[in-house]
Amino acid sequence: MEHKKGWTAPALAGGLAGLANGFFGGGGGMLLVPLLTRRCGLDQRRAFATSVAIILPLCVLSSVIYFLRGGLDLSAALPYLAGGLLGGWLGGKLFKRLDMDRLRRAFALLILYGGFKSLFAL
């Protein structure tokens, strides 16, 4: 899809998504989904799927950097990875059946919950 104003704004948005992933271990999709729907004109389903494709290499890069700097505990991550692979596969299979309005609201609640937990974690 052709971008409305060139590559500068999308590259900047990608950079912000990469920073979010690098700083927080995730969260770049929260920035990308709204931008992909508004700026690129993608429908919600396509924006979610495209966001995942953008975030994957960012997560891999961040993981490699964390690993090389000694900040990644692979033995602690493996059980989550196994469950995450199964959940990702199942989510991908069910994605086309889900009502996008409900999915968008569930995503917003998840973001709010994470923000609330982060603000009030003691």
pLDDT greater than 60 at residue 3: no
Q: 20: alpha, beta or left, given left = phi > 0 and alpha = psi -120 to 50?
A: alpha
Closest CA to 52 of 88, 1, 94: 88
Structural domain spans, the chain:
1-72, 73-122
- Cβ-in-10-Å burial (0-12, 13-18, 19+) of 17 comes to buried
- pLDDT tens-digit profile of 99-120? 988 888 888 898 888 888 888 8
- Angle (CA) 3 105 122, round 5°: 105
pLDDT greater than 60 at residue 24: yes
Predicted confidence at residue 68, as pLDDT, reads 94
Closest CA to 96 of 44, 51, 27: 44
Predicted confidence at residue 90, as pLDDT, reads 93
Predicted confidence at residue 36, as pLDDT, reads 87
- pLDDT tens-digit profile of 62-103? 889 989 999 889 899 899 989 999 998 998 898 888 898 888
| Per-residue DSSP letter, 76 | H
CA–CA gap between residue 54 and residue 14 (Å, rounded)? 8
- pLDDT tens-digit profile of 30-70? 888 888 888 888 888 898 889 989 888 888 888 899 899 99
